[in-house]
Amino acid sequence: MRDAEQVWFNGGGSQVEAMERAGAAVAREAARFAIGRGILMLAGPGNNGGDAYVAARLLSEAGHDVAVAALGGKTEGTAAEMRMRWHGETVSLEEAVPRPIVIDGLFGTGVARELTKDVKTYLHHIVNNAQFSLAIDLPSGLETDSGDDLGAATMDVTVAVGSLKPAHMLGAGLVRCGHVLLADIGIPVSGPIWSLGRPQLSAPAVDAHKYSRGMVLVVEGDMPGASRLCARAALHGGAGYVMLAGTGSAEAGPDALVHRRVEDAGALRNALEDERIGAVVIGPGLGRSDAAHAKLDAVLESPHRAVIDGDALTLLGFETADRLSRRDALSVLTPHAGEFGRMFEGGEGGKIARTRAAAARSGATIVHKGPDTVIADGDGAIVANSGSSWLSTAGTGDVLAGLVGARIAAGGSAGQAVWLHGRAAQLAGPAFAADDLIAHIAPAMKECL
Ligand SMILES: NC(=O)C1=CN([C@@H]2O[C@H](COP(=O)(O)OP(=O)(O)OC[C@H]3O[C@@H](n4cnc5c(N)ncnc54)[C@H](O)[C@@H]3O)[C@@H](O)[C@H]2O)[C@@H](O)CC1
Ligand SMILES: Nc1ncnc2c1ncn2[C@@H]1O[C@H](COP(=O)(O)OP(=O)(O)O)[C@@H](O)[C@H]1O
Ligand SMILES: [K+]
């Protein structure tokens, strides 16, 4: 957004015009929610405050009852001009009395440090005593690029100005922003970071057969249940053929699953010689024994697309980047935060920056899981919010790994799998077990055809 604004200014766009548009978008949304109730506008010293003064003026001109509470200190730049154009009541933040509607324009993307105790106390008191709260661009006190909480209050609605910022989808932002509305202010934005949308998928071609649909080999481990969850998810993720390679019971269905007896890494290497394999999944329930390590080596040395999950990630540890950058075929890693930390030390910045850096170092696609899943490869990053916290139950990661395997075996992407997984969780509703999630993958896929 910063870059886009700069390009727009260089092309003759003015700061005043941008702020008028931002303020107008905020006023439009606020008017819909206020329905006649009194409004308290909080205005900070920078451009976020500038937007607030514009919105206050427009709402007041439209007949709303508006008071402004300004943060002490000097108002800067264009915001100072907008402050002068506001002729209504202005009090200091300390003097402000809560009103039914509060609009938070203290700080946006320029927040640079933890809110002071006083500002935080007043802000939270006012927001907690309002009937409805709306943030301009970001809840004040949310770090833009990471979503870290520097003292923000929890808002009902946030009007993102011009584009979504990472904090609208990451970390504490998931809670603090409330419902996010995106306001177009006519400044074209492009860049390497996206939010995940519903994918467009197609039914198998008329002349498709089971191998052309994508064959997935799932490596079984010490916990066969996890591998089976993964394999069943792959079947429903659109794979034409799913083979479970291990020694677990072939009686444990579904019957469509092909069991191949694979005792050790040597036998796995033989199985991997099948050129029809579209993707291999290793990690769910694998265990961390020497035998598991040897199987992982066999998969990494194979020419197949590979999904690496769970224990396989922990086995790789800090060698991940080195080992994966030597592979020619696509590798997709699906770590949760703990596994990510065991593979990639520290790193600068928020979740997006750290995941992108790890993808660049390893040459892999990385699905960094959580409520704010970040999918990164060498080209950029996609952020996904599934909207279902019920996913936080054991085994759902195994289901995701199988789905990723099915999608990439079919020539699709990890992003498709993440979307299907999140949507299946929404369709499954509350308190599902990972097994139940699988039945909702096909209905989720139906929405993409
Ligand atoms: N650049 C532009 O032309 C546009 C910017 N827009 C708005 O401008 C915002 C960004 O404006 P700015 O870059 O001026 O930044 P902000 O207004 O978000 O905040 C910066 C100001 O807050 C102070 N500050 C930062 N952290 C503080 C803290 N913890 N305690 C006390 N003071 C603190 C800074 O010293 C500075 O005065 C966006 O979020 C958006 O709302 C919109 O008007 C659209 C156009
Ligand atoms: N609070 C949450 N909200 C939304 N999704 C979540 C949440 N917690 C976990 N998830 C998702 O659930 C899955 C859990 O995977 P993982 O941690 O590997 O579990 P397991 O290894 O038990 O299968 C991931 O897809 C993750 O993104
Ligand atoms: K704000």
DSSP string spanning 60-77? Answer: HHTT--EEEEE-SS---H
Whether residue 239 is found in the same domain as residue 149? no
Predicted pLDDT of residue 387 = 81
Gap from CA of 48 to ligand 1 centroid (Å): 5
Q: Quote the number of domains for the chain.
A: 2
**Ligand 2 neighbourhood includes 370 CB (under 6 angstroms):** yes
Whether residue 229 is found in the same domain as residue 186? no
Whether residue 167 is found in the same domain as residue 241? no
Whether residue 234 is found in the same domain as residue 291? yes
370 is in an annotated binding site: yes
Pocket test for ligand 1, best of 82, 107, 114 (most atoms within 8 A of CB): 107
> Does 196 map to a domain?
no
Whether residue 388 is found in the same domain as residue 346? yes
List, for residues 388-404, the tens digit of each pLDDT value.
Answer: 999 999 999 999 999 99
Predicted pLDDT of residue 202 = 94
Predicted pLDDT of residue 187 = 96
Please compute the mean of the pLDDT values over residues 412-437 and round it to a whole number: 97
> Does 6 map to a domain?
yes
Whether residue 184 is found in the same domain as residue 298? no
Gap from CA of 110 to ligand 1 centroid (Å): 4
Predicted pLDDT of residue 72 = 79
> Does 223 map to a domain?
yes
Predicted pLDDT of residue 171 = 94
Using CB atoms within 10 A of its CB, is residue 287 exposed (0-12), middle (13-18) or buried (19+)?
middle
Return residues with CB closer than 5 A to ligand 3 (ion): 48, 104, 108, 135-136, 140
Neighbours of 2 (CB within 10 A): 11
List, for residues 140-185, the tens digit of each pLDDT value.
Answer: 999 999 999 999 999 999 999 999 999 999 999 999 999 999 999 9
**Ligand 2 neighbourhood includes 392 CB (under 6 angstroms):** yes
Ligand 1: atom nearest CA of 140 is 18
372 is in an annotated binding site: yes
Predicted pLDDT of residue 414 = 98
Strands 101-105 and 215-219, bridge-based pairing: unpaired
Predicted pLDDT of residue 31 = 96
- At residue 17 the predicted structure's pLDDT band, cuts being 50, 70 and 90, is very high
Whether residue 265 is found in the same domain as residue 354? yes
Please compute the mean of the pLDDT values over residues 202-213 and round it to a whole number: 91
Whether residue 94 is found in the same domain as residue 237? no
Q: Which domain holds residue 291?
A: 215-446
Whether residue 186 is found in the same domain as residue 256? no
List, for residues 242-261, the tens digit of each pLDDT value.
Answer: 999 999 877 777 889 999 99
Predicted pLDDT of residue 326 = 95
> Regarding predicted confidence, which is higher, 300 or 345?
300
Question: What's the CATH code of the domain at 40?
Answer: 3.40.50.10260
Strands 215-219 and 241-246, bridge-based pairing: parallel
Whether residue 187 is found in the same domain as residue 221? no
Residue nearest ligand 2's atom 1 by CA: 389
* CA nearest to 102, candidates 79, 74, 125: 125
List, for residues 260-303, the tens digit of each pLDDT value.
Answer: 999 999 999 999 999 999 999 999 999 999 999 999 999 999 99
